[in-house]
Amino acid sequence: MFIMITVEHLTKRYGDYTAVNDVSFACKPGRVTGFLGPNGAGKSTTMRIIAGLTPPTSGTATIAGVNYRDIPNPATQVGVLLDASAQHAGRTGAEILRLSAMTMGLDLTRVDEVLAWVSLTPEEAGRRVRNYSLGMRQRLGIANALLANPKILMLDEPANGLDPAGIHWMRTLLREYADRGGTVLLSSHLLHEIEIIADDLIVIGQGRIVAQGAKDELLAGTGAHVKSTDDQTLGQALVDAGFAAHPAQGGGITVDAEPEQVGRIALDSRVSLIELRGGDNTNLEAMFLQLTEQTQREQPVNQGVVR
Ligand SMILES: Nc1ncnc2c1ncn2[C@@H]1O[C@H](COP(=O)(O)OP(=O)(O)OP(=O)(O)O)[C@@H](O)[C@H]1O
């Protein structure tokens, strides 16, 4: 499949500090890629490098094989929202979009189309941005990114400040955009949102990638859950067979083995099974906390959090 955003061995150092450390990933068309990591992990820096705003120390970031800065009229190819507060506060929302449209050589009727799309009323579009709420700034930033109907969208924390209806709207917009063949790279701290919308995940901690791949595969459960008439005997038999087995919270045993192996061991041990199924899917929050545990500012206060 043709890759739209390619990041290869990207490193960014500020003095002795390494903000991005040998990061490689790819974002594909038709898919929403969620970019996750604790505060200061290096997400914004990576996105700024992709958008040609920060030079890398080493490595490359390209859009369909080309550096962002070498793309003619790049905003027509890649819609970027990196900092919703970076807009000129003294201009109205409509003025900002008109200026962008003119810079990109677009028909000005497009401005009204995207304003309607992001649900900013004509009255709101006529207000100065300094009087916008954070959510309105985000909507304006998304409108700006969508202006030229680009094939790629790169959004840093676009849901920040959006109300629940706004988050729902953005989720639908990005899903439809990807379903039409667009490529989306999206950073967010709203793990529940990412869990719903992302097809692929990249998890970064202290500048390094700690996990990446298709969401379904990353969150797929492993192991098995089993309940029997004699969990003690079965648990011991599982351990004797070399599998890690622990009492499960709601009763029964969770074991790091395939259900078929568990069934065989139960048969050999002459223990009757009451229930046997594959392991539960992990939720994204549990996976995130576990993967980034070493890089979190806050360490888990009790074992129930992730272990
Ligand atoms: N211009 C700079 N000079 C020095 N350090 C910088 C600079 N820009 C970023 N950093 C550092 O690089 C690290 C990564 O920052 P970055 O903004 O990429 O993190 P992030 O993952 O986007 O975090 P957040 O989730 O808080 O937005 C941070 O420690 C930050 O302080």
Ligand 1 centroid, distance to 84 Cα (angstroms): 17
**Residue 171 CA to its chain's centroid (Å):** 12
Q: Does domain 221-278 have CATH number 3.30.70?
A: yes
pLDDT value of position 214: 93
pLDDT value of position 303: 39
Ligand 1 centroid, distance to 297 Cα (angstroms): 14
Cα torsion 286, 292, 297, 300: sign:
positive
For 81-138, write each residue's pLDDT tens digit. Answer: 998 777 788 899 999 999 999 999 999 999 999 999 899 999 999 999 999 998 999 9
Instruction: Give the separation between CA 123 and CA 34, rounded to whole angstroms.
Output: 34
Q: Name the residue with the closest Cα to ligand 1, atom 8.
A: 45
For 178-206, write each residue's pLDDT tens digit. Answer: 999 999 999 998 888 888 899 999 999 99
* pLDDT-based confidence at residue 219 (cuts at 50, 70, 90): confident
For 199-208, write each residue's pLDDT tens digit. Answer: 999 999 999 9
Ligand 1 centroid, distance to 1 Cα (angstroms): 32
Least confident of 72-86, 96-110, 255-269: 72-86
- Which CATH architecture fits 5-218? 3-Layer(aba) Sandwich (3.40)
- Residue that wins the pLDDT comparison between 172 and 302: 172
Flag whether pLDDT at 299 surpasses 80: no
Flag whether pLDDT at 281 surpasses 60: yes
Ligand 1 environment, Cβ below 6 A: 14, 19, 37, 39-45
13, 14, 20, 296: residue to mutate for ligand 1 pocket, most atoms within 8 A of CB: 14
Q: Tell me the mean pLDDT in the region 249-262.
A: 88
Query: What percent of the chain lies above the pLDDT cut of 90?
Result: 68
pLDDT value of position 190: 84
What Cα–Cα distance (Å) separates residue 79 from each residue in 8, 98, 259, 279? 21, 16, 46, 40
Average pLDDT, the chain: 89
Domain ranges of the chain: 5-218, 221-278
Ligand 1 centroid, distance to 8 Cα (angstroms): 19
pLDDT value of position 249: 76
- pTM attached to this predicted model: 0.82
Q: Tell me the mean pLDDT in the region 275-284.
A: 82
- Residue that wins the pLDDT comparison between 119 and 295: 119
Q: Tell me the mean pLDDT in the region 238-259.
A: 88
Q: Which atom of ligand 1 is nearest to the CA of 38?
A: 25
What Cα–Cα distance (Å) separates residue 251 from each residue in 206, 230, 232, 264, 274? 38, 12, 12, 21, 11
Q: Which atom of ligand 1 is nearest to the CA of 42?
A: 18
Ligand 1 centroid, distance to 279 Cα (angstroms): 37
pLDDT value of position 2: 66
